[in-house]
């Protein structure tokens, strides 16, 4: 495949997707663009979110890109359509894994940013699955910001300061920043979490026809890190492995 697979997020959250994809297909070339100077996006207005995303994609498009992944639920929900119309390469997105969580039944908690929860796409997903499970939504106002500030050492985050109490049968992590602490959230609620990361990479593999023979055993993944503000380097990425 000619060109790099680009991953875009408002900050470090998309590293969960990059880690999943590069771990499965280390022979591919990658670009990670984090808009760290403006992270997180979740509490911003729709127009501002799309303007920031478009500015980032304009920078991404300067390189040879085979495809791009919006590794941000908020940007996928608000801007995926306009970005696909503007740029020539395939653009994929991630959305809250409400379907698989609801399919398991019981009580489901959806954790997502304010912008994601108010989007038409997520509202449609909730309507489609409301009869399959008892679904509650919650916006942890500063959790994405806390993850962004603490990365790469996320062990000191106090989840009780950000998450609602309760007993649930499943928790949807509707923000890729939350996926970075998915194991901790699973322990906190003693239930499975659904982040959509593996499913997004499955879809990417199918659409781009990424073959298993590309997964050569390299000592180092070919990935370029770029972005705004404080650029996260390879040590952060390998710290997630």
* 53 and 35 assigned to the same domain: yes
Write phi, then psi, for 232 (nearest 5 degrees). -80, 135
For 94-107, write each residue's pLDDT tens digit.
Answer: 999 999 999 999 99
User: pLDDT tens digit string along 45-58?
Assistant: 999 999 999 999 99
Specify whether 131 is located in the same domain as 218.
Answer: no
Per-residue pLDDT tens for 193-226?
A: 999 999 999 999 999 999 765 555 555 788 999 9
State how far the Cα of 19 lies from the Cα of 38, in Å rounded to an integer.
Answer: 22
- Side by side, which strands form the sheet with 91-93? 91-93, 65-70, 4-9, 29-35, 222-228
Domain shared by 117 and 141, yes or no: yes
Q: Are residues 8 and 87 in the same domain?
A: yes
Is residue 72 annotated as a catalytic residue, yes or no? yes
CA 214 to chain centroid, in Å, comes to 24
Please spell the DSSP secondary structure of 36-89, one letter per residue.
GGG---TTS-HHHHHHHHHHHHHHHTTS-EEEEEE--HHHHHHHHHHHHHH-SS
The structure tokens 């659904």 sit at 194
Is the CA virtual torsion 112, 76, 194, 213 positive or negative?
Answer: negative
Q: List the structure tokens of 91.
A: 């653009």
Same domain, 153 and 203: no
Query: Do 191 and 114 belong together in one domain?
Result: yes
pLDDT of residue 236 exceeding 50: yes
Does 202 lie in the same domain as 89? yes
Which residues, 6 or more positions from 194, have their beta carbon under 8 angstroms from its beta carbon? 97, 98, 100, 101, 170, 171, 172, 173
Answer yes or no: 50 catalytic: no
- What residues contact 207, with CB distance under 8 A and at least 6 apart? 67, 90, 92
Same domain for 110 and 142:
yes
Measured CA to CA, the distance from residue 95 to residue 67 in angstroms comes to 18
Range of the domain at 109: 98-196
Structure-token pair, residue 10 = 């408002």
* Adjacent-strand bridge partners of 33: 8, 226
| pLDDT for the residue 241 | 41
Q: Which of 21, 79, 139, 175 is catalytic?
A: 175
50, 72, 79, 191: which one is catalytic?
72
* 109 SS3 class: strand
- CATH number, domain of 224, equals 3.40.50.1860
Total structural domains in the chain? 2
Enter the pTM of the model: 0.91
Q: What are the pLDDT digits (tens) for 133-158?
A: 999 999 999 999 999 888 888 988 99
213: tokens are 């023979």
Same domain for 80 and 146? no
The token pair that represents 71 in the structure block: 């590794």
């Amino acid at each position: 495949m000619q060109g790099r697979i680009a991953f875009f997020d408002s900050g470090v959250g998309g590293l969960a997707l990059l880690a999943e994809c590069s771990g499965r297909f280390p022979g591919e070339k990658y670009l990670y663009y984090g808009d760290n100077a403006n992270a997180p996006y979740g509490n911003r207005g729709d127009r501002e979110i799309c303007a920031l995303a478009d500015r980032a994609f304009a920078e991404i498009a300067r390189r040879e890109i085979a495809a791009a992944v919006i590794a941000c639920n908020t940007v996928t929900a608000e801007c995926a359509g306009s970005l696909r119309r503007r740029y020539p390469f395939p653009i994929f997105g991630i959305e809250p894994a409400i379907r698989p969580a609801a399919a398991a039944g019981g009580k489901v908690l959806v954790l997502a940013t304010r912008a994601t929860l108010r989007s038409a796409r997520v509202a449609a997903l909730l309507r489609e699955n409301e009869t399959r499970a008892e679904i509650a939504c919650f916006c942890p106002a500063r959790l994405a910001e806390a993850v962004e500030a603490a990365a790469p050492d996320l062990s000191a985050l106090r989840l009780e300061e950000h998450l609602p109490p309760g007993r649930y049968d499943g928790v949807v992590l509707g923000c890729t920043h939350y996926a970075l602490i998915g194991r901790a959230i699973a322990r906190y609620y003693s239930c499975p979490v659904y982040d959509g990361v593996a499913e997004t990479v499955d879809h990417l593999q199918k659409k781009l026809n990424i073959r298993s023979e590309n997964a050569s055993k390299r000592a180092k993944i070919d990935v370029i890190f770029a972005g705004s503000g404080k650029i996260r380097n390879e040590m952060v990425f390998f710290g997630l492995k």
